[in-house]
Every structure is written in C-alpha cells, then in structure tokens.
Structure 1
C-alpha cells in the first residue's frame, strides 16, 4: 500500500461528493491527515468512510468562497495537524447552461465567487503555511470549459479560464518557495454537479451517449480525477508547476460542438 502522503496535512474543498470526496478518500488511504471541507453536511459521510477504512480525517463545514471560512479551515489544519502540506481547492458550482445574454449579474457573481475567488483564497491563506513546511503543493480544479468554448455555460467557462490563469500567476508569485501550483481540467465527470445530466440520460435510455464527443466515448469517474490530484500533490510531480492538465478522455483535443446562431433559439 502506497504511503506517499504519510504524515502530510491536506485540505480538500468540495469534499462532500464527487471529485472532492474521491480525492479526500484517496489522500487518506495513502497516509494523509485530511481536512474534508464542504458547505454541505454530506462532508460528514466522507469522513465516516475514511475513518471506516482506517484513515484520519476531520470534517469542516464552510463555504470555499468565504474568506473567513477558508482562513478558519487553514487555522484548524495548523492547530490540529501542525501545518499544511497540500491544499486541493476543488469546490465549484456549474451555474447552469443559461445563454450569455440571458445570464444575470447575480449568477455571474456567485459562480465567480465560488469557482475563482475560492481558489484565490486557498492560495492566499494556505501558501504561506505550506512555505513554512519547506515545500508542498496547491491544486485547483479548473475545467476543459476553461480551455475553450463549448464545454460549459458562460459564467462557469469564464471562471475556470480564470482558475487556469490564477495558477500560472500564483506559480510565478511563489517563485523560489518550493510551493507548486497546478490546475486539473476535468472533462465530463459523474458528480453531484453533473448528476442531472446523467439522470436524464438514464431516464430516456441514452446513457450510452454520455461522453460520446470524446475519443474514449465515455464519461469519467471522480476517482480518475482524484488520481491526477494525488499525482500533482506528490513528489512524483516535483517539476510540474503552473500547469493546467486536462483529464478529459481527449475531449479538449477538439471540443466538437453544435453551434447556435446569434438571435436564434434551438428547436
């Protein structure tokens, strides 16, 4: 059994389900002490699963887009686990698929607050503590929707493009610190955020069409993204910094989409 993270203190946001839960479980299985953070009380189930498997985790209920909450979860990790080695800023929301000209300012503000300001807050508050440990890593969940148009709604896509730029900027700002900052760009993954899409496909008997636009012809699993996160957090990725790694079955090699003409609605 791998012990890549034995004795390491790790925070994972969005740990109540999907990629965050799979990552928290994965880190704990490899020896980490995990702060599993989520605004949903489902995070307690994540901790229960980790403890049932013999791992160490603590639940933190809070909002990843709130500076007070992010500062508090960092403080908890430092007080109870002696510091921070890795912060996985994974929490995010989709914002739906509303067209650009139908979006409200309020929708944009909420999506940007959680999806982009959240990772900024993680970097702002965790990086100085990771520096104190001598080295470490910050991983942010971006998306293939942040690479180019065609894989998400307008606020979501813009927020994830911002995450990609943020990790590049942060990597430069942390020059000489031995703190690496990278992003993962998932494709279509079955999580709480995408569950309506999967549920609808099952209801109408079209589950086989999920992921049909990528060369692997399937959607991804949360564990497949978690494995990428664990790699980027580990010493195995010691020379990977400031990068956005697509884990999408090959979707971003083309991003084929059907386009809607301006001023026309789809049938």
Structure 2
C-alpha cells in the first residue's frame, strides 16, 4: 500500500460489483475509509471484503438516482467517518432495452437518464459542499467511451454518458475556487455485471478471444484497470487535472472504425 488516499474518506456508488467493488477495495488499500453504496445487497459483501483486508468500510443501500438517498449517503459519510473528501459516482445501468433505436420507449430513456446522468448531478450537488467543508478533494464520475460517439452501447445509454462528460466539464466551472476537482473516467468494454451477458455469450460460442478485438490491445478491460484510473483522478497525483474525460479503453476511441492494412503483423486472424 502506498497510501495515496491516506486519511481520506471516500464514497463509491455502484459498489456491489464490478468497477465499484474493485474501486472500493483499491481505495481502502490506499488508505481511504470507504462508504460503499449500491441498491444491491452485494454492497455489504464489498464492505466486508474491505474489512477482511484490514481496511475500514461501511455499506449503505439506496438508489443513486434518488436525491433523498444521495443526500443521506453524504450525511452518512460524515456521521460515520467525520468528513467527506472523495466521491466516485460510478453507479449506472444500460436500461436492458432489447432491439434497436426505435424499440426504446420514453420511459426506458427516462430511467437510464435518471440513474446515469441525474445520479452524478446529485452526487455533485450534495457531495461538493461537504468536500469543500472538509478542506477540498475530488469527484470522479463514470462515463463511457459510448458517450464519445455511436457504436459502443444502446442509444439511451450512450446519450446519458455523453451527458456525464458534459456535466463534468460544466461542474468544473461551477466549482471554480472551491478546492473541489471533478473528472470523468470513460471505460471501454470491461467485464462487469452489466456486460456479463455479452462475455457469457461469447464464451458459450467459443469466441472469447474475439472480445475487445476492435481496440489496439485486442482485449477487454478488467474492473481493476478502471479502478486504477479512478484512483489517479481522485488522488493528489491529479491535482492539476480538472474537467477532463479520461478514456480507459485499450485505445478504442483513438480511431474511427477501419480495417487494418494487409500484412500488418498484429492483424488478428479471422
């Protein structure tokens, strides 16, 4: 443990599994006291895993898109650990819409936007004053490379994540002079609870090796890799990084879709 978050109190939403759980565990190893939050009961297992590793953590259940729940979460961090310095607004959903663009209903869109975009807004609204009161700190939000352009997720999900990128940029300006930084981490394809059906389907079809083949690293990401990026953005190592969107996607967003030229030694076989 290098102690990059020593003495800090950090909230992580969506902490029952995937990126959120990996982040809670990593932040604790780096010295933070962690408040793990999720609507799923698995968040208690995350807190227990932190404690089993010698860290300090409590778990809270609730809805990341509910203002009452987020306000209570920020208050709980202060009541439990005396302050709040860091907030990782990671919770998100795809919406589970089957079919294409025209199959989604306004209700489908509304629910995805409520959790994925209004949720981070509520995190900023309620966490920023508490963080400022503790002497400053940082907020990170999970967006997605799907928020950069079409092709990496359903329309309603992609639009919500594009909104998160702009929210971070806008909030950075609104928080000028407060001592609170805010940035977004943009995962590419990463194996989490959200993407597990895709991974399971590929494995069942014997095509696991094709997962992530569109990015230059030719593989999918791991939750721990996204957690490491979030750790950087929340740590003092990123003290001059503000209002930015950091893609962690194996290089997927570095190019528009194209085919590799014949003879490229790194070209995957068909």
What TM-score range do you get, normalising by the shorter chain?
Answer: over 0.9
* Separation in structure 2 between the aligned mates of residue 26 and residue 166 of structure 1, nearest angstrom: 26
* DSSP-derived class of the 1:70 partner: helix
Q: What's the CA shift for 1:257?
A: 8.2
* Separation in structure 1 between the aligned mates of residue 206 and residue 11 of structure 2, nearest angstrom: 39
**Contact 1:96–1:153 (Cα < 8 Å) also in 2:** no
Q: What's the CA shift for 1:4?
A: 1.2
Matched, 1:188 2:212: no
- Aligned partner of 1:129 in structure 2 is 130
- Aligned partner of 2:264 in structure 1 is none
- Aligned partner of 1:175 in structure 2 is 176
- Aligned partner of 1:35 in structure 2 is 35
- Aligned partner of 1:95 in structure 2 is 95
* Separation in structure 1 between the aligned mates of residue 157 and residue 2 of structure 2, nearest angstrom: 35
State the TM-score, normalizing by the size of structure 1: 0.95
* DSSP-derived class of the 1:37 partner: strand
* Separation in structure 1 between the aligned mates of residue 246 and residue 96 of structure 2, nearest angstrom: 24
Distance 1:220 1:173, change over 3 A: same
Q: What's the CA shift for 1:96?
A: 3.6
**Contact 1:70–1:125 (Cα < 8 Å) also in 2:** yes
RMSD over aligned Cα, in angstroms? 1.2
Q: What's the CA shift for 1:79?
A: 1.0
- Aligned partner of 1:63 in structure 2 is 63
- Aligned partner of 2:106 in structure 1 is 105
User: In the TM superposition, what are the counterparts of 1:38-53 in structure 2 within 5 Å?
Assistant: 38-53=38-53
Q: What's the CA shift for 1:100?
A: 1.7
* Separation in structure 1 between the aligned mates of residue 107 and residue 145 of structure 2, nearest angstrom: 24
Gaps of 5+ in 2: 260-270
* Separation in structure 1 between the aligned mates of residue 247 and residue 75 of structure 2, nearest angstrom: 32
Gaps of 5+ in 1: 259-267
* Separation in structure 2 between the aligned mates of residue 21 and residue 256 of structure 1, nearest angstrom: 32
Matched, 1:75 2:75: yes
Moved over 4 A (4+): none
Matched, 1:208 2:220: no
* Separation in structure 2 between the aligned mates of residue 22 and residue 257 of structure 1, nearest angstrom: 33
- Aligned partner of 2:14 in structure 1 is 14
**Contact 1:22–1:222 (Cα < 8 Å) also in 2:** yes
* Separation in structure 2 between the aligned mates of residue 10 and residue 52 of structure 1, nearest angstrom: 18
- Aligned partner of 2:224 in structure 1 is 223
Distance 1:21 1:255, change over 3 A: farther
- Aligned partner of 1:237 in structure 2 is 238
* DSSP-derived class of the 1:65 partner: coil
* DSSP-derived class of the 2:114 partner: helix
State the TM-score, normalizing by the size of structure 2: 0.94
* DSSP-derived class of the 2:184 partner: strand
Note the alpha carbon deviations across 1:192-239, whole angstroms, 9 max, x for none: 000000000110100000000000000000000000000000000000
* Separation in structure 1 between the aligned mates of residue 226 and residue 83 of structure 2, nearest angstrom: 25
* DSSP-derived class of the 2:58 partner: strand
Distance 1:158 1:213, change over 3 A: same
